[in-house]
Structures are given as C-alpha cells and as structure tokens.
Homo-oligomer: A and B are copies of this chain.
C-alpha cells in the first residue's frame, strides 16, 4: 500500500510505445473488406484504363478530316454502317464517307478518330433520337453532320485514366472508397494490407458484474470491457478475446500468458497495492518497462512485454482507463495496424472561457465543454466519474511544465466527436 517510487514522464512512456509498436506484416484482403485498412505494398497498375479508345459522348464516330467545313447550312452526309455500344463494339472498319453510331463509353471503331456529338447530326433527315433503340441501321441510312470536328475530339484515349506500370497507391495509405474503385478498375480483387493487431482484453475486479446480470449488493457493473472493445475496434484492432478474470494472481498470470495476440490490455489492479497483481506478474514473466506515470488521471498505468505481446496495465477507474488507453494502448494498436499513432480525435484551437487548473510536473487530461466557442473545464471530473467523459465535448492536455490555462488564452482542444 505504498506509492510509486518514481513516475515516468509521459514522453518516456510514448517513446517506449513507439519503439515497441511497429507496423505488422501484410495479409491479403478482398477489396470488399479493404476500406479503411492500410496498404502494405504499393499498388502498380497491370493494365491501361481504359484499355481502348472510347466515345466520351453519345454521337457518331467518323474520320475527323471528312467533316471540314460542315455547318448548320452545310451538312455533310455520311453513310451509317453500324453501331458501337458499350460491351458490344462495332467490329468493322470505318472507311471514307462512313459513320458509326456510338454511345458514351463504347469502343471507337477502327478507322474513326473522332466523335461528333448527337446534337450535330441527324439520321436520314430525321433526328437521331427518334430512332428505335438498337435498331439495325439500314445500309441506306444517311447521317448528316452539321459541325466540323478534329482528330481525338470527344474520344477518351486508351490509358487516359491509368497507364500500365503506374504506381496507383503507395504502401502506408489508408484506403478510401475511391481507392478500392481504382484498384478494381485495373482488375485487382485483393489488396495486400497491414494485418490488424489482435488484442486480448482482460477485465479484473471481483466486484464487477456483466451489464444485464442481476444486481447484487456491493457489486459494480463493468463499464471498461465494452468501452475498451469499442476503442480497440475504432483503432483498427481485433478483439480476439475478452475475459473477465478473478482477482487472483494465478488467474491473472494465466490470462496474460495465453499466446497468440499482439497486445494484452489488463483493466484494473495496475497500481501498487496488495491486490494489484498484474505489474509483478509482467515483471516476473517478461519486462515491466514503465510503471507509474506522471499524469492525471491514469498515474497507476504500466506497460511491458510478455512473450510476443505488448502488455498494457490500465487503471480500473473508468476515466483513467479511457485516458491511459488513448495515450498508450490505442497508440500502439493504431501503429501496429499501419495507421498514424496520433489521436483519431479532430482538434480545434479555441479560447479558454474558464480557468483550467493543473500542477507542474504532471500531464493533465482535462475534460472540457465547448460553450459559445469557449473551452470550459467540467466542474465534476474525478477519475471515477465516467459521465465526465460523456458530458464533455472533448479534452485539453496540459503539459507537465504548465500550471494550466488562464481565461482568454488559446488552447488546442481534442473533440470526442467530429464537429457539426
């Protein structure tokens, strides 16, 4: 029941996290599962897109040179020899004096080098739009062109979107919906993405019962398990296991030592009391690199390695648990999955409305509201008051060398939600 001998600085703990948490290896993922994942290898185009010249307008494919001088009062007649539709191209060759009806996206027939838009053409004296859909043009059908054109006009050239051999997307990129579209456009149906870190959540505390369970006197409903699971998923991790572990040394040791995860997160029993088993287990079975951090809340936080896993010991107090997760465990998970270690919270600069108090020598995680554009600390905000994080709009970090912020100063505020 004594205190910590010495507390690590937040910066030291972050450096340790960054040294441990490197991007994991790659794995194949179907395109449909790849949104938001991080690319593990450059994507290089294997084909041109499109793979052929195509019409960029509905109209008529012709040899541009034959339209010279065409105008509303000087129509030039072409012989309609066929039709090119997307997926159903005209297979022949466009010869002198010939035109092919063509739809947007359809292959430009051989011989032709331009598309005259439909509004500058009329078939056999009747407007083109009067024809029945897909009617076979009779060999006698004439198209009168009423505007001159030039080679390449209204033609989408082969490779105009993608040239084979181009690097389309670089390793490390977080995949957008349109990135998946571009990958699909070059015929790719799987991408090599950074593997998602597998995480084991261990919630300790004999007083804790699962929400939905019958109430019992002097028991507490566990809030950290569901909160941590949602945070891990937000940060790109997979909750491989989630266990409620009894407050016994043997049970906690066994749960920490189970193999096959990248990260172990233990909630509760992270301090220095007689019932705080986890730190000494990590020290005995692996390395307890950091224990006790100069911050508030979350000071009784530990981290180390056991076997192949990075282990985070988070305080059981729910606000401390959230804060320590966000500072350290979440950063590790984001980095292992190939993302930036930075917080996923939007940040804004805003004026301080009411004094934010801290103490020299520790980093403070202050829950604040944004009222009329001004940042105000919550009046009730102990480490055990989880509702402080639901009433708050976000938080302000006060560095160790600062005593806080006076009204009128400007601070960076992290928003729990995207601004409206």
Binding site for B on A (CB under 8 A): 1-3, 31-32, 35, 47, 49-52, 56, 58-59, 85-89, 103-107, 118-119, 127-129, 131, 133-134, 156, 160-162, 168-169, 174, 176-190, 205-208, 210-213, 215, 217-231, 233-234, 247, 271, 273-275, 316, 318, 322, 340, 342, 344, 346, 382, 384-387, 389-390, 416-418, 420
Contacts and interface: CB of A to CB of B under 8 A. Distances in A.
Main secondary structure of the interface of A (DSSP, over half): loop
Contacts of A35: 230, 233-234
Contacts of A225: 184
Nearest to A345: B418
A212 B187 contact: yes
A188 B183 CA distance: 43
B87 A223 contact: no
Given A103-B275, A118-B2, A178-B322, A218 B52 contact: yes
A161 B386 contact: yes
Contact of A127 (B2, B103, B387): B2
Given A211-B189, A233-B35, A386 B227 contact: no
Nearest to A56: B384
A185 B389 CA distance: 13
Given A180-B226, A185-B220, 11 more contacts: A1-B58, A49-B386, A103-B273, A106-B207, A133-B274, A178-B322, A181-B318, A183-B226, A184-B223, A185-B211, A187-B221
A385 B87 contact: no
B390 A205 contact: no
Contact of A274 (B131, B223, B346): B131
Contacts of A222: 184
A94 to B, nearest CB: 16
Nearest to A416: B176
Contacts of A179: 390
A226 B181 contact: yes
Contacts of A187: 211-213, 215, 221
A59 B59 CA distance: 87
A12 B208 CA distance: 54
Given A185-B318, A221-B184, A234-B35, A1 B177 contact: no
Contacts of A128: 1
A206 B390 contact: no
Contact of A87 (B156, B206, B231): B206
Contacts of A342: 420
Nearest to A190: B212
* Candidate in A104, A212, A233, A234 with the most chain B CB atoms within 10 angstroms: A104
Which interface residue of A35, A127, A129, A178 has the most chain B CB atoms within 10 A? Answer: A178
Pick from A50, A85, A89, A161 the residue with the most CB of B within 10 Å: A161
Nearest to A206: B87
- Kindly list the 9 A-B residue pairs having the minimum CB-CB distance in the complex, ordered from nearest: A189-B212, A87-B207, A181-B227, A87-B206, A1-B118, A86-B207, A181-B223, A177-B230, A35-B230
A246 B382 CA distance: 62
Contacts of A176: 230, 389-390, 416-417
A119 to B, nearest CB: 7
A104 B206 contact: no
Contacts of A273: 58, 103-104
